[in-house]
């Protein structure tokens, strides 16, 4: 019996390399669609321009084995990863059209599950011209998404595009709203910034280990019956050594509504939905990781 196949886009990137590694370790055959080869051994990469729908269809249909054995799902992480590194229109067009092309190809080829990389930036706070506070804490999936930048807007559009394909085809689409992704080697640098907590105010001191992202992606592919869902992926704690309530009092004094006690260093992004629907539990905590 051959291994189940999962397609990962952006598998050569910061989070993507941990995602392809995790799937391979869990017994999957992994196909990486990206603009460069992955460093991960025994992972097949097809150099693919995801903004070209023909290339996307070809990579998935010819190399993805959809004609013989089904693809278990697609994990779409390829994107321009933040605002203002590219012209606004380039960022928006790339992120939106690559996502549309992946979903369109999946629909046409009968691939029934797609995981999308959304972002905490969709709430608008991260890249707002003028900082604004959340309406309540912790932020959850029901909090208004109010982006003014092209990156955050692209993530909102991608979630809506996923919902449209779900309505049209019944495809299962899970959009992970990701906090600041950290990998081994990042932790020392972030801990060194603890003396300046204002540096991470706009991300609400959130973070998520790439290895925890990878396990959530696998669970979202393996789980049936999810429909179309957006879920926050964040660690249980903050990327600060100060108590969360102290951070809120000093840096978010206008927030008056709290839906959780925020004891200790509790996260200001709620991961309760991912835990409930996927049975996911983050394993990596900033205070426990080596530099």
pTM score, two decimals? Answer: 0.96
Q: pLDDT at residue 97 above 70?
A: yes
Which residues neighbour 45 within 8 Å (Cβ) at sequence distance 6 or greater? Answer: 11, 12, 31, 32, 33, 34, 36, 37, 38
The rounded mean pLDDT for the chain is 95
Residue 92 belongs to a domain with what CATH number?
3.40.50.720
Distance between CA 280 and CA 220 in Å, rounded?
9
Of the pLDDT bands very low, low, confident and very high (cuts 50, 70, 90), residue 66 is: very low
Range 81-102 average pLDDT:
96
- Distance between CA 171 and CA 103 in Å, rounded? 9
pLDDT band at 1 (very low <50, low <70, confident <90, very high): low
CA-CA distance, 59 to 141, in Å (whole number)? Answer: 33
- CA torsion sign for 225, 142, 121, 240 is negative
Give 179-220 pLDDT, tens digit per residue: 899 999 999 999 999 999 999 999 999 999 999 999 999 999
d(CA 235, CA 209): 7
**Which residue blocks in 71-119 are alpha helix, DSSP H?**
88-109
42 confidence band (pLDDT: 50, 70, 90): confident
Q: How many domains would you assign to the chain?
A: 1
Percent of the chain with pLDDT over 70: 97
Q: What phi, psi does 71 have (nearest 5°)?
A: -80, 130
Domain of 273?
A: 5-288
Asked if residues 216 and 290 have their Cβ atoms less than 8 Å apart, the reply is: no
State the average pLDDT over residues 66-85.
Answer: 85
- Residue carrying the six token digits 């309760």: 272
């Amino acid at each position: 019996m051959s291994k189940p196949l999962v397609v990962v886009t952006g598998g050569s990137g910061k989070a993507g390399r941990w995602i392809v590694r995790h799937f391979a370790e869990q017994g999957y055959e992994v196909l990486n669609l990206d603009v460069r080869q992955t460093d991960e051994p025994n992972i097949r990469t097809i150099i693919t321009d995801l903004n070209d729908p023909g290339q996307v269809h070809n990579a998935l249909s010819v190399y993805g084995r959809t004609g013989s054995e089904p693809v278990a799902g697609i994990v779409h992480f390829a994107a321009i990863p933040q605002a203002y590194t590219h012209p606004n229109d380039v960022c928006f067009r790339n992120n939106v059209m690559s996502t549309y092309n992946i979903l369109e190809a999946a629909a046409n080829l009968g691939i029934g599950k797609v995981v999308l990389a959304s972002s905490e930036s969709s709430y608008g706070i991260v890249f707002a011209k003028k900082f604004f506070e959340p309406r309540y804490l912790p932020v959850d999936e029901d909090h208004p998404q109010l982006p003014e930048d092209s990156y955050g807007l692209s993530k909102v559009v991608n979630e809506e595009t996923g919902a449209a394909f779900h309505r049209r085809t019944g495809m299962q689409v899970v959009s992970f709203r990701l906090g600041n992704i950290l990998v081994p080697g990042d932790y020392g640098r972030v801990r060194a910034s603890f003396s300046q907590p204002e540096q991470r105010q706009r991300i609400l001191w959130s973070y998520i280990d790439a290895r925890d992202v990878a396990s959530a992606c696998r669970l979202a592919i393996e789980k049936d019956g999810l429909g179309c869902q957006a879920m926050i992926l964040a660690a249980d704690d903050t990327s600060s050594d100060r108590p969360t309530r102290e951070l809120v009092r000093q840096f978010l004094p206008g927030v008056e509504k709290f839906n959780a006690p925020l004891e200790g260093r509790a996260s200001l992004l709620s991961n309760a939905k991912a835990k409930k629907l996927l049975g996911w539990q983050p394993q990596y905590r900033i205070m426990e990781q080596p530099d």
